[in-house]
Amino acid sequence: MRAFFLCALIGLILFFSQHPAYAALREKGQTQPLISAWNPQHDDKNDNDILLPMPCGLRLALRPIAVPGGLVHDVPFMMGVRNIDADRAIYESSVEKHIAASFTVKDLPEAWQKKLGVTKPGAFSYYFLGKYEVSTLQWNVITQLVQPDGTFVAGRCPKQASEADTKPVVNVSWFEVQDFIKRYNAWLIREALSVLPSYKGTNAIGFLRLPTEEEWEFAARGGIKISKEDRDNNDSFLPPGGDFSEYAVFRSEKGRILTSPSPIGSRKPNPLLLYDTMGNAKEMVDGFFHATIADIALNNQQTIRLHGASGGLTGKGGSFRSDETGILPGYRDEMPLYLKSGEYRATDLGFRLALAGLTLPNSERLLSMQHIKSSSRGQTQIRQALPLKQVEKPKESPKQAGATAQNTQTAQKELKETQEKAIAINQNGDVLKELGRILEVTASKEVQGNLTQLKQMIVKREEARERQRITFLEDTVRSALYQAETIRSFAFRYIEVKKILDEEAGRMNAKSREEASEYLDTYYRVLLTAANQYKNHLRKIASAEQSLVDEIYSQLTAEYAGSGTLNRHMQENLRTFSSLLLFVRREGFEKLKSERICRDIIPKQHLSKMTHFKWASTSGICLRCLRWNAWVYVHCAHAGCFFFAVHF
* CB of 320 closer than 8 Å to CB of 257: no
Percent of residues in the chain assigned helix, strand, coil, to nearest 5: 45, 15, 40
- Fold annotation for 27-363: paralog of FGE (formylglycine-generating enzyme) (3.90.1580)
Give 350-385 pLDDT, tens digit per residue.
999 999 999 888 777 776 666 544 333 333 333 333
Closest to 359 measured CA to CA, from 116, 67, 96, 97: 67
* CB of 556 closer than 8 Å to CB of 477: yes
- Show the DSSP H helices in 560-603 as ranges: 565-587, 594-601
Estimate to the nearest angstrom the gap between the alpha carbon of 647 and the chain centroid. 41
* φ/ψ bin of 104: left (φ > 0), alpha (ψ from -120 to 50), beta (otherwise): beta
Task: Give residues with Cβ within 8 angstroms of 378, minimum separation 6.
Answer: none
CA angle 188, 189, 195 (to 5 degrees): 65
* CB of 62 closer than 8 Å to CB of 132: no
Produce one character per residue of 117-146: b if its CB has 16 or more CB atoms within 10 Å, e if not. ebebebbbbbbbbbbbbbbbbbbbbbeebb
As a three-state string, the secondary structure of 211-273 is CEHHHHHHHHCCHHHCCHHHHHHCCCCCCCCCCHHHCCECCCCCCCCCCCCCCCCCCCCCCCC
Give 6-25 pLDDT, tens digit per residue.
445 444 444 434 333 333 33
Q: Which helix (H) or strand (E) holds 67?
A: strand 59-68
- Number of helices (H) and strands (E) in the chain: give both, helices first: 17, 20
Position 380 scores a pLDDT of 35
3-class DSSP assignment, residue 372: strand
Task: Give residues with Cβ within 8 angstroms of 20, minimum separation 6.
Answer: none
* Helices 2-17/20-27 angle, 10° precision: 70
Q: DSSP letters along 129-192, please?
A: EESSPPBHHHHHHHHHHB-TTSPBPP----SSB-TGGGSBP-S--HHHHHHHHHHHHHHHHHH-
Q: Which phi and psi (to 5°) does residue 418 adopt?
A: -65, -40
What is the distance between the alpha carbons of residues 122 and 137, in angstroms, rounded to a whole number?
38
* CB of 442 closer than 8 Å to CB of 448: yes
Position 240 scores a pLDDT of 72
Tell me which DSSP letter residue 44 carries. S
- Per-residue CA distances from 470 to 353, 380, 462, 560 (Å): 32, 17, 12, 19
Strands 354-356 and 349-350: unpaired
The CB-side HSE value for 431 (13 A sphere, CA atoms) comes to 12
Q: Long-range pairs for 412-416 at CB < 8 Å and ≥24 separation?
A: 415/443
CA angle 162, 163, 169 (to 5 degrees): 100
* CB of 616 closer than 8 Å to CB of 608: no
* CB of 455 closer than 8 Å to CB of 463: no
What is the distance between the alpha carbons of residues 308 and 314, in angstroms, rounded to a whole number?
15
* CB of 63 closer than 8 Å to CB of 223: no
Produce one character per residue of 178-211: b if its CB has 16 or more CB atoms within 10 Å, e if not. eebbbbbbbbbeeeeeeebbbbeeeebbbbbebb
Closest to 106 measured CA to CA, from 197, 191, 27, 171: 197
* CB of 218 closer than 8 Å to CB of 74: no
What is the distance between the alpha carbons of residues 85 and 560, in angstroms, rounded to a whole number?
32
- Per-residue CA distances from 561 to 24, 222, 448, 636 (Å): 39, 12, 52, 20
Closest to 307 measured CA to CA, from 287, 295, 297, 293: 293
Q: Which phi and psi (to 5°) does residue 149 adopt?
A: -90, 5
Domain ranges for the chain, please list them.
27-363, 462-549+580-609
Position 119 scores a pLDDT of 65
Q: How many Cβ atoms are within 10 Å of 212's Cβ, its own excluded?
A: 18
Position 197 scores a pLDDT of 95
Low-confidence ranges of the chain (pLDDT < 70): 1-29, 72, 119-120, 253-256, 297-302, 367-422, 614-648
What is the distance between the alpha carbons of residues 153 and 442, in angstroms, rounded to a whole number?
65
What is the sign of the dihedral through the CA atoms of 602, 606, 608 and 613? negative
Produce one character per residue of 548-564: b if its CB has 16 or more CB atoms within 10 Å, e if not. bbebbbbbbbbbbebee
